[in-house]
Structures are given as C-alpha cells and as structure tokens.
Structure 1
Amino acid sequence: MTETGTKETSGRRGSEAPLHGPDAFEGMRRAGRLTAEALDLLVDHVRPGVTTAALDRLVAEFAHDHGAYSATLLYRGYPHSICTSINHVVCHGMPNDKPLREGDIINIDVTLILDGWHGDSSRMYFVGEVPRKAARLCDITYECLMRGVAAVQPGRTTNAIGSAIQTFAEAERCSVVRDFCGHGLGRVFHDAPTILHYVDAGYDIPLRPGMLFTVEPMINLGRKEVKVLSDGWTAVTRDRSLSAQFEHTVGVTETGVEIFTISPKGHHKPPYATGM
C-alpha cells in the first residue's frame, strides 16, 4: 500500500531514516519473496469474469498457509487483504464482487508480514486482450520503476530516483502522480524515508546503506491530478485517463541496491506467460 505524499508523510519527510543490518536484510528477503510468490499466484487467476473479492480471498489464504498475514487488513480501517486498482483507479482500489472485464488493466498491491518483516509489492495484470494504449502505459510504468530502482545508490539522493522516473515518463507523454509516494518500511509498515517519484527541490535525502523502502511510481496516460472517492480510499484520475503502477521493496547496500520482491517465476510485467 502506497503512502500519501501530502498530509500523512509531511511530518516524516525529513525524519532520520532508520538503518538496518544483515539480519534485517535477511528478514526482508524472506518477506519480499513471499509477497512476490503471492503475486505470482494471481497470474493464472486474473481473467474475465473473476471478481477482485475472489483474488482477495486467494491472497489471504496463501498468506495464512505460509505463516504470514496481510499488512493492509484493518490498517487504518481498510477492510481487505489486497488493493485492486482497475483502469483509471490510481491506487487503493477496494476488492468487490464486480467481475473483471475483457480489456481491463488492474494493479494488485500486496503487503505481507512474515516474522515481523514487511514485503510490499504491486504489479499490473492484463484481463484478456487489452488496448494497445493500455499495454503501452504498463510498459512505460514498469520502465519507470526499474529506472527508479537503478538510481538507488549509496551517496546519491532521493531526487535521483524521482528524476529517473519523471524524466522518462514525461518523455513518453505521460504524467507522474504527486499525491502518493513510496515509503520506508521494515518492521514498520510506513516509515522514513519518503520516496517521491518526481523531483522536489525542497526535499532531497541522502541514500545510505541500510535504508529500506519502496519505489512505486503511479503513471497516468493523461494529467497527473487525482481525487479520492467517498469511501476514503479509492484514488482515481480526475480526467478518467488510465493509470498504472509497479512497486518493489528495496534495500540500499554498500555498493548499490537489492530488490527483495523479484518474481521467482519471472512474472515481472504483463503479458505473463504461464508455466515459466
């Protein structure tokens, strides 16, 4: 689950980010891998006619069977184990009994807690055959994620991440959502540092070995503005344009970056080839 980039993190942006040692990295590897396996599980289930409520139950059962549980369930009152954001929904879409339709694109965001450590990741899925513009947006967004992750190096700053993402997205005539951001995590779900996916001259935190955080750009095909619906969670694009998001949990190492949420089956972006 992404963090808001306005009210909820404003007091934490400049906070000192905790630094973690080898034991924490090992815990994050286990939690991250389990989260990636949960997302892999959904590859064969996201198809026309399936409900997002059914996907929610699958992840809850998977977590229980592996000695983990969802960080989002009852988090600040959120009633589900995953977030399911379809088409023009930017993030925090809530599972329900409405069937998925041919041509939908959907972001599924999973955060599992295993032995106290948080693994947080999201991916886009295609529901059957999707329009070319939707597939292109997903490709651009995945590239934004990986460029942002590649910018994570000790001695650089958070604006290096934002610059890598914003430069590429805008060159492809897409926009970067400002209202939500990445966040530190570990034994705490949302912690310092705040990770913006665009350049902000007023906020630029040095990256140091031992930092743990998410990179999770939300990219819109249209304008960057979003609004939150009356349920208090679901964020949508104001112009009803398509939105996409990918997310990894990473750690800053002495020499670069470690990604904890890589798919064991190679299901990094759609279209997914089952049986890989």
Structure 2
Amino acid sequence: MSRTAQALLCDEERRFALAPVELPDPGDHQILVRTLVSGVSIGTEFALLRGDLDWGPFPLCTGYQAVGEVAEVGAAVRGYAVGDCVYFRDNKVIARPDGAPVSAVSGTHCSLAVIDPATTHGLAHLPAGCDLEAAALFVMPAVGLTGVDLAGPRLGESVVVQGAGLIGLGVIAACVLRGCRVLAIDPAPECRALAAALGARVTVDPAAEDVGAAVEAFAPGGARTVFEATGRPALLDAAVALAQPEGTLVLQGNYGAAPLPFAFLPAHGRRLTWRFPCDDGG
C-alpha cells in the first residue's frame, strides 16, 4: 500500500511544479508526518540547480528541512503521539504515481513524510511557542553551531565570521554565547544588522570597507578562528588571510562537488587547522 501526497519537484529544465507522488505506508518503526512548512536553503538547493551538486537524476525533490504534525505512529515507536509538532529532515522514499523514482536526499518539500525517528537525520519535538516558518529553517543555524562546537573558540577570543546568512548567524550566536568577540562580514545591510543584534561587536561591508584593515584593528595579527560561511569557493583565500598563524579556518558552507581552488602557500605559511563541519550534527 502507499499514500498519495503532493511534492514540489524540479525537472531537467530547472522548473518547479507541484506534482502527485506516492509514499510507502509507515511501518511499525516509522512515523507519518503531515508537513506544515518546509524551508528552502538558497545555498544547497541553488547549488543543485546550478549543477554544483548531484543528488541523482531528475525529477528532484530538493528540500531537506521542515516542520509538521505527526499523523500516524508505528506500533513500535515510543515518545511520539498523533498531533505532536515536530521538525524533521528525512523523507527519502518518494515515487511518481507510475512508479518512477524521485531523487531526494531528504525530500521535505512534500505534503507527507515517512520517517524513522531512530535515524541520525530523523525528527524531534518542536519546542512549544516556536514560530513555524523560522523553525523550518533549523538546519542552517544548526550547521553553524556544529562548526563552533568543532572549532571550540574560548571566552574572550576574537572570531571572524565571513558571511552572515543563516549559517553565519548561527555561528555568531553560538560564539557570543561562549563569550567570544565577533566581527561579521557581509555585503547585505540586513544581514549585518542581524549580526549586530545577535552580539557581533563589529560588522563590515566588504563592498565599501577594507576588510583586512578592519580585522587587523579588531584582532591584531589575525583572528584565532575564522568561519567561512558564504559557501563561495572564490572567498577561501580571503578567509585564509584573516586568520592568525596557527589559527583555525572553519569551512561552514557547502562548496559543491568540484575541487576547491585556493592559494596553498598563505595557508601553509600560517600553519592553519581546517575544519569541515557542513552538517547539523545529527
């Protein structure tokens, strides 16, 4: 047996449309969730459209983060009940009505989801009072938090965050909570304003200011930890230049499947530690 749902699918021409799909009935260890809001990642999902990432043949269901309401609970599942509000990032088994597969890593742009709560990227209860639209974007700030956990910046240390989108804002919030001094770089005034509201002491517009001079004034000799959160390979060298010798560079974005070009000698000369935490920590 199967369930009919509606999914937002992308075809070979990169056109999106709602289309009927079929999902398997949930098993004893699974949960059926009715999607309320699915979040869009303009980094990863747009990279799929550009061909920088490959999640399989078209049609694609590109989403990987959503919130919803539990509709059915398998007999062996504990801790969840019908009506619970959850956030999730798993819904891999989707097919067209004729049985043709739909490529999906998580498949959350779909009106229904069949989820095993025991998997690493399953689901969890949504805290009471959360705004559903904000909660549906939970993965990106969580990626930032994971990067901060891996890098381990300490109380009083100077940190630079290159890119104040959702991942970068997650980094900023986590670093401020650790007692770090944060400088945020972003060309968008609304992103710089959010960075300041979250506690960044200095914000820099790279289109109008000398970033190197601003960082030198903020952290003479470079920052102990630099978080590159734009996902743009062309900005890797700029991030390297902002780190102090024997500092840490954290690549927070998803830079695609192609090899990353960067100047070896500056990073080599600084003896940098590189971290690659592009995940939400499961």
| TM-score normalized with structure 2 length | 0.25
User: Which structure would you say has the larger RCO, counting Cα contacts within 8 Å and 6 or more residues apart?
Assistant: 1
